[in-house]
């Protein structure tokens, strides 16, 4: 979903695929393309050893968030955590917040489970499933303290812009699942997508921008290796933080 190599593999790995050969019912546009990827021995071991505790099955039924984590705490949903490096660091930085991470790619899920074991994290749960369906069917309305979407696939070509995740209908779904005062934090390294994100979020009457335009990078979001390299080369990164009106 991203050009961020520590959050998500480079976008060059996700070339658009033709759906013309598929029957009409199978041509549903997704915001991601399944990538071929090799699960390492360490990732497979983490899936086997830690998956039963930290990997939630997709049930299509609303979760009891307090029961899921064994406590009553703010819950943040992260959509598309890639290889999970930043996700693990954020969870470690914010131990009083619980996180649900959605990612469709097995190596990334295995990598984050490995981080969970190595770092002794208890405030993370993962779902290997389409985040839109998880949001619609498993997350209770008005329940989330926040949503993180970092470096989603920008779908650079204009004819593929419709595949971008951040669209008005999707933001409306996010809003319905945010608690009053809850936030949406987006980040991208593709300026045209940043412009679209700002336009879409600003047009949602139930949200208010926390900044004049783009936000300062919140302290809890770590810089990735890719991002540091890009900043040294003069590339930009844009953060947006909007809150749901009370």
- 153 catalytically annotated: yes
Query: What would the mean pLDDT of 38-59 be, rounded to a whole number?
Result: 96
**E runs forming strands in 25-139:** 55-56, 75-79, 98-102, 124-127
Give pLDDT tens digits for 96-123.
999 999 999 999 999 999 999 999 999 9
Give pLDDT tens digits for 172-219.
999 999 999 999 999 999 999 999 999 999 999 999 999 999 999 999
Catalytic site residue from 98, 153, 189, 239: 153
pLDDT band at residue 20 using 50, 70 and 90 as cut-offs: very low
Q: Give the global pTM.
A: 0.85
Q: Above pLDDT 70, what percent of the chain?
A: 85
Higher pLDDT, 21 or 70: 70
Q: Extract the tokens encoding 104.
A: 């469709």
Q: What is the pLDDT of residue 224?
A: 79
Dist. CA 134–CA 1, nearest whole Å: 17
For residue 15, CA distances in Å to 143, 162, 216 come to: 35, 15, 31
């Amino acid at each position: 979903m991203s050009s961020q190599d520590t959050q998500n593999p480079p976008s060059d790995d996700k070339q658009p695929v033709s759906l013309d050969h598929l029957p009409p019912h199978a041509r549903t546009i997704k915001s991601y393309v399944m990538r071929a990827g090799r699960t390492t021995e360490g990732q497979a071991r983490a899936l086997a050893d830690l998956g039963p505790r930290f990997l939630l099955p997709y049930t299509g039924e609303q979760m009891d968030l307090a029961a899921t984590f064994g406590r009553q705490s703010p819950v943040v949903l992260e959509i598309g955590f890639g290889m999970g490096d930043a996700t693990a660091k954020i969870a470690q930085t914010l131990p009083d917040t619980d996180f649900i991470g959605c990612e469709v790619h097995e190596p990334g899920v295995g990598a984050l489970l490995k981080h969970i074991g190595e770092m002794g994290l208890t405030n993370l749960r993962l779902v290997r499933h389409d985040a839109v369906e998880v949001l619609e069917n498993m997350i209770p309305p008005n329940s989330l303290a926040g949503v993180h979407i970092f470096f989603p696939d920008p779908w650079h070509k204009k004819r593929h812009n419709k595949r971008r995740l951040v669209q008005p209908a999707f933001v409306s779904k996010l809003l319905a699942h945010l608690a009053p005062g809850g936030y949406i934090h987006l980040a991208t390294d593709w300026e045209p997508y940043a412009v679209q994100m700002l336009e879409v979020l600003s047009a949602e009457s139930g949200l208010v921008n926390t900044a004049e335009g783009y936000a300062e990078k919140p302290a809890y979001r770590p810089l990735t290796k890719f991002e540091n390299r890009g900043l040294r080369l003069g590339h930009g990164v844009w953060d947006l933080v909007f809150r749901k009106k009370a």
